[in-house]
Amino acid sequence: MKTHHWEDEHGTTCTGELDDKVARDYPQEATCEAIFADPAAYPGSAASAAPYSEEACMAGCDFEDGVCYVTGTGERDLGWHLPSENCVFPGTYALIGAASMLGGVTRMTVSLTVILLETTQDIQYLLPIMLVLMLSKWVGDIFNISLYDMHVEFKCIPFVEDLPPSGMEQLVASDVMSTNLVSFAEIEPARDVYQRLCSCKHNGFPVVNAENKILGTILRFHLIRALQVGSFCSADGVLLEGRRALVHDDLQNNLASKGTPVEEIDDAGLDGVYINLQPLMDAWPYVVFEGASLSRVYRLYRGLGVRHLPVINTDNVVVGILSRKELRTDWKGDSLI
């Protein structure tokens, strides 16, 4: 380092030990640094007596990246050499902003916080991420529902949320149950089974006796498989000669397959034969009484993951059935989580 003499833009002679390049290319910065490098060279400035007072930089300074730069305004600004560390990290603000936007769109809180923490691997971001996600969710809930729930609603999917919709506490099962029942007897004519399956799109059916008391439930897929395989019997339930009973492998449902529509089954040969539903039906189904609280039925339905709940009275007579269509979510707002 060498002692340099130069003039600033006001014609003031400056003296200080500065780098050649700084003195040549940045005379304003060199002037400010010279004030603090050699305060005795500027006896009229307050830098020699009080370097941290507002009189420290006579020419006026701006600060950038911890370095004092002369502005040339001649104002008496507060000036001293700041630490060289950069206190603003744009990446942090970008992360928090992205988390806030994503939280407002999806309304995800806990799961999104965990994902972002695993991505950044910095626990210091936990509190700001949690704050912006909760705030973005609260603000978004004021205006509309989340993007995912919008798409579920547009596609008319009967989705069931974790919590029952508001206003369900005053209702009972009989208020919303479907009374348009399609039921089967234990031994049903094959022709009647085929016609009933073609006349409706229900996926589950109650199996009742002659007094309409519930004996079990059976799925649509099982009835279609019985028609496909030709597992027919007589009116007494005895398997016909040359026919075979359904086994466990016949009732396995492949999730990748949509199944065979009942309309594609050949209905020839269905007259005069029967289908025994006792080996196929669920003999111990979940049921609810017609006077049960609908919010309790909702939690039972959601917790067990069932698709159909027969509704019975005190005499075990089937009076209706509940499905996702009757218990679907009220789309006026999101749940808390």
Determine the pLDDT at residue 298: 86
Determine the pLDDT at residue 61: 46
Q: Which residues 6+ apart lie within 8 Å of 231 measured at CB?
A: 239, 243, 244, 245, 246, 275, 276
Least confident interval from 26-40, 61-75, 228-242: 61-75
Nearest to 189 by CA among 239, 242, 235: 235
- pLDDT higher for 38 or 315? 315
Q: Which residues 6+ apart lie within 8 Å of 294 measured at CB?
A: 164, 168, 169, 171, 172, 173, 175, 176
Determine the pLDDT at residue 306: 83
Pairing label, strands 288-289, 204-208: unpaired
- Rounded CA separation 210/194 (Å): 20
pLDDT per position as a tens digit, 134-192: 999 999 989 888 888 888 878 877 677 777 777 778 888 888 888 888 999 999 999 99
pLDDT per position as a tens digit, 223-247: 988 888 888 898 888 888 888 887 7
Cβ atoms 14, 31 nearer than 8 A: yes
- Rounded CA separation 252/254 (Å): 6
Centre a 10 Å sphere on the Cβ of residue 67 and count the other Cβ atoms it contains. 15
